[in-house]
A and B are shown apart, each in its own frame.
Chain A
């Protein structure tokens, strides 16, 4: 099985889906001739032509709107937001149109779009290139949201998103692009939306997270193993709908849970996960539910020490995991 980078897995998923189904096409800023600012769509323009790898004006609302219209006529668009930070002009299209079309039309119309958007900081991108906007879309019924961490899931979830009959937001972490690599099958497979995945078995503490911070969790778990602390790690993979069963099962295992994400703490995905645990598992908790998230600060600082302070890293994660284990 070939080992590939996270970004290559995303590109492969789009290539395979475009080969499989000629209704699938990509659109976005610089996704055609240039092949994307991160090279995510590199080669698609050459292989499929300008009508299936379509450069658009700098207008995210139009990118989403065009994709929604095409989807309602039976196409399977993959709309790229160059950075998730630029997604907000399109939120009206996404939240008020895409999410509600099936409901509004009493099942007459559907909107099978995929919106890909890179999230996350740590690339000296400052406030316009580092945001994690999951919580903005998270509470919107009608939207599915996935946020893969492993290259295997990056490919499988993107293919599942393309084939899904309803709108799916695909949050890929730009820091993962070249940093995370792993085995990715070359054949046609999907990772079902709505299913979490156990990354590591353990019985002292449970860590629940998604996307990039799971790398720190895995590294910290490896080191804490030396100290005799065994961590159970759950990768949510899908944020909407959350895999409630998997969350409860993972927490039941240890009774101590730490929830981690890069998005800021207040109103984040972790708040919902902890509410689910509190509602269902009070009598099996052995420690207060812990969250380790980005601070409630308006934006990622551009200066390196500020960025370092803002972001999670292995040491912060490890310390939190150790504290929970010692509790």
Chain B
């Protein structure tokens, strides 16, 4: 089997990039031994003979005498009788060089499965938000079906997004293969059964009387004032807390060991709420007839229930605390409340109230605003439910958030946005989120 080998201009010296063919020592048809000079070459630095790298017959001169060519240029062709093993190596080399093309073809085929279809780059998310593009509608041309920045730009330029925009907000990017929690949800404590001190019943009557305690009286007065003065409105949103559940399960034992307190979902919720209030400060305000007073400090009133009352001790400057700090505050306030050790300063200065109604199993509640604040939010039970994600049914841990609002200050749109932000904050906890 005959093969043709190229003889190329070698790099003869440092910084040398070209050489001039001076004189051909062999002519087409001549036999050339290995290392036998075929021509003389001239360079800026040295003059040299160019040896053949193979033994064979010179078949063609590609560069005539006197011509200057760059290093690496073939100057002549030599025909050799290749042995079997050489031929094998040659075809191997061809196979190897063909491989990149083949593998890129494979990548193109893999688009059918589109493993990157739901991985969105920051640029894509930003552009999609800017133009109100629903990413589900866009064709991805990138690696593994990924939607590229250019795909969005092309989609916007085509005007297609305006036709499909009627469906509203961009679909949330949910990875259908995200880890779904397998174990059940457990409430942090079993709901308490109220124990009520009863005055000795009068014989022969079907009723008993309970004395109104001062705290009961205060609750009653505040509730009446709130519902009679504040025009309440109510709204609710549903949150997928699957990732949060996974995160908490990962961290809670370590947290208990390290801090000696329970890491509750409530701490994460407070963080999410506080961050949302920062973005929508109007939630942190009070109606003052001729003006609205917006409070700069975010002090969260936490509704803590006991057997016979509910109190709302305050976490001051909640926006200065991280999740771990909030968990400690919650633990301390709950303990003080149960032990009856709350001081006046623990109760003052609240600007927004959160009630963990899920702790007694509620899935929906209509809270009364903690007068004179502007809104109150409840965190309902986390329950596992079938959820449709990308037209597939998944088992996800879901929770409702309910919000009562003072309709003199707040309207549906702003509260919707606020709740959406709380939802986004809660859903963006991942296994990598930090407590400190």
Residues of A within 8 A of B (CB): 38, 123-125, 129, 174-175, 177-179, 203-204, 254-256, 282-287, 319, 322, 326-327
With an 8 A cutoff between CB atoms, is B149 at the interface? yes
Q: Determine the distance from Cα of A129 to Cα of B146 in the docked complex, in whole angstroms.
A: 44
Q: Which chain A residue has the least Cβ–Cβ distance from B124?
A: A286
Pair A129/B14 contact, Cβ less than 8 Å: yes
Q: Determine the distance from Cα of A283 to Cα of B14 in the docked complex, in whole angstroms.
A: 46
Pair A124/B11 contact, Cβ less than 8 Å: yes
Contacts of B125 in A (CB 8 A): 283
With an 8 A cutoff between CB atoms, is B126 at the interface? yes
Binds A, one of B15-23, B181-189, B264-272: B15-23
Pair A282/B18 contact, Cβ less than 8 Å: no
Pair A286/B15 contact, Cβ less than 8 Å: no
With an 8 A cutoff between CB atoms, is B132 at the interface? no
Q: Determine the distance from Cα of A261 to Cα of B241 in the docked complex, in whole angstroms.
A: 45
Q: Determine the distance from Cα of A282 to Cα of B121 in the docked complex, in whole angstroms.
A: 9
Q: Determine the distance from Cα of A38 to Cα of B122 in the docked complex, in whole angstroms.
A: 49
Q: How far is the CB of A178 from chain B (nearest CB, A)?
A: 5
Pair B17/A179 contact, Cβ less than 8 Å: yes
Contacts of B100 in A (CB 8 A): 319
Contacts of A177 in B (CB 8 A): 15
Contacts of B15 in A (CB 8 A): 38, 123, 174-175, 177-178
Q: Determine the distance from Cα of A182 to Cα of B148 in the docked complex, in whole angstroms.
A: 37
Q: Determine the distance from Cα of A115 to Cα of B150 in the docked complex, in whole angstroms.
A: 44
Q: Which chain A residue has the least Cβ–Cβ distance from B153?
A: A203
Q: Determine the distance from Cα of A286 to Cα of B122 in the docked complex, in whole angstroms.
A: 6
With an 8 A cutoff between CB atoms, is B390 at the interface? no
With an 8 A cutoff between CB atoms, is B142 at the interface? yes
Q: A174-B15, A177-B15 are in contact. Are A327 and B122 (CB under 8 A)?
A: no
Q: Determine the distance from Cα of A212 to Cα of B239 in the docked complex, in whole angstroms.
A: 55
Contacts of A256 in B (CB 8 A): 149
Q: A124-B11, A177-B15, A178-B17 are in contact. Are A282 and B122 (CB under 8 A)?
A: yes
Pair B123/A327 contact, Cβ less than 8 Å: no
Pair A327/B143 contact, Cβ less than 8 Å: yes
Q: Determine the distance from Cα of A27 to Cα of B174 in the docked complex, in whole angstroms.
A: 66
With an 8 A cutoff between CB atoms, is B90 at the interface? no
Residues of B within 8 A of A (CB): 11, 13-18, 44, 100, 104, 107, 121-126, 142-143, 146, 148-150
Contacts of A175 in B (CB 8 A): 15
Q: How far is the CB of B141 from chain A (nearest CB, A)?
A: 9
Pair A287/B121 contact, Cβ less than 8 Å: yes
Pair B16/A178 contact, Cβ less than 8 Å: yes
Contacts of A326 in B (CB 8 A): 104, 107, 142-143
Q: Which chain A residue has the least Cβ–Cβ distance from B129?
A: A283
Q: Determine the distance from Cα of A199 to Cα of B252 in the docked complex, in whole angstroms.
A: 55
Q: Determine the distance from Cα of A283 to Cα of B149 in the docked complex, in whole angstroms.
A: 11
Contacts of B104 in A (CB 8 A): 322, 326
Q: Determine the distance from Cα of A7 to Cα of B14 in the docked complex, in whole angstroms.
A: 14
Q: Which chain B residue has the least Cβ–Cβ distance from A130?
A: B14
Q: Determine the distance from Cα of A254 to Cα of B125 in the docked complex, in whole angstroms.
A: 15
Contacts of A285 in B (CB 8 A): 121-123
Contacts of A327 in B (CB 8 A): 142-143, 146, 148
Q: How far is the CB of B133 from chain A (nearest CB, A)?
A: 14
Contacts of A255 in B (CB 8 A): 121, 123, 149
22 CB contacts below 8 A, A to B, read A123-B14, A124-B14, A125-B14, A129-B14, A174-B14, A178-B15, A178-B18, A179-B17, A283-B122, A283-B123, A283-B125, A284-B122, A284-B126, A285-B121, A285-B123, A286-B122, A286-B148, A286-B149, A287-B121, A327-B142, A327-B143, A327-B146
Q: How far is the CB of B115 from chain A (nearest CB, A)?
A: 13
Further pairs besides A322-B104, A326-B107, A326-B142: 14, Cβ < 8 Å: A123-B14, A174-B14, A178-B16, A178-B44, A179-B17, A204-B150, A255-B149, A256-B149, A283-B123, A286-B121, A286-B148, A286-B150, A319-B100, A326-B143
Q: Determine the distance from Cα of A175 to Cα of B122 in the docked complex, in whole angstroms.
A: 39
Q: Which chain B residue has the least Cβ–Cβ distance from A179?
A: B17
Q: Which chain B residue has the least Cβ–Cβ distance from A174?
A: B15
Contacts of B142 in A (CB 8 A): 326-327
Interface residue from A283, A287, A319 paired with B126 (Cβ < 8 Å) = A283
Q: Which chain B residue has the least Cβ–Cβ distance from A326?
A: B143
Contacts of A123 in B (CB 8 A): 11, 13-15
Contacts of B11 in A (CB 8 A): 123-124
Q: How far is the CB of B8 from chain A (nearest CB, A)?
A: 13
Q: In the A-B complex, list the 6 residue pairs whose CB atoms are closest, starting with the nearest.
A: A286-B149, A123-B14, A286-B123, A255-B123, A179-B17, A255-B149
Contacts of A283 in B (CB 8 A): 122-123, 125-126
Q: How far is the CB of A228 from chain B (nearest CB, A)?
A: 12
Q: Determine the distance from Cα of A203 to Cα of B148 in the docked complex, in whole angstroms.
A: 13
Q: Determine the distance from Cα of A250 to Cα of B46 in the docked complex, in whole angstroms.
A: 44
Q: Determine the distance from Cα of A124 to Cα of B15 in the docked complex, in whole angstroms.
A: 9
Q: How far is the CB of B411 from chain A (nearest CB, A)?
A: 30
Q: How far is the CB of A219 from chain B (nearest CB, A)?
A: 13
Q: Determine the distance from Cα of A193 to Cα of B425 in the docked complex, in whole angstroms.
A: 46
Q: A178-B15, A178-B17, A326-B143 are in contact. Are A284 and B123 (CB under 8 A)?
A: yes
Q: How far is the CB of B153 from chain A (nearest CB, A)?
A: 9
Q: Determine the distance from Cα of A177 to Cα of B123 in the docked complex, in whole angstroms.
A: 41
Q: Which chain B residue has the least Cβ–Cβ distance from A180?
A: B17
Q: Determine the distance from Cα of A284 to Cα of B129 in the docked complex, in whole angstroms.
A: 13
Q: How far is the CB of B207 from chain A (nearest CB, A)?
A: 66
Contacts of A124 in B (CB 8 A): 11, 14
Q: Determine the distance from Cα of A285 to Cα of B13 in the docked complex, in whole angstroms.
A: 44
Q: How far is the CB of A208 from chain B (nearest CB, A)?
A: 17
Q: Determine the distance from Cα of A71 to Cα of B236 in the docked complex, in whole angstroms.
A: 75
Contacts of B107 in A (CB 8 A): 326
Contacts of B143 in A (CB 8 A): 326-327
Q: Determine the distance from Cα of A178 to Cα of B146 in the docked complex, in whole angstroms.
A: 44
Q: Determine the distance from Cα of A149 to Cα of B125 in the docked complex, in whole angstroms.
A: 37
Q: Determine the distance from Cα of A278 to Cα of B269 in the docked complex, in whole angstroms.
A: 30
Contacts of A319 in B (CB 8 A): 100
Q: Determine the distance from Cα of A319 to Cα of B97 in the docked complex, in whole angstroms.
A: 13
Contacts of B150 in A (CB 8 A): 203-204, 286
Contacts of B18 in A (CB 8 A): 178
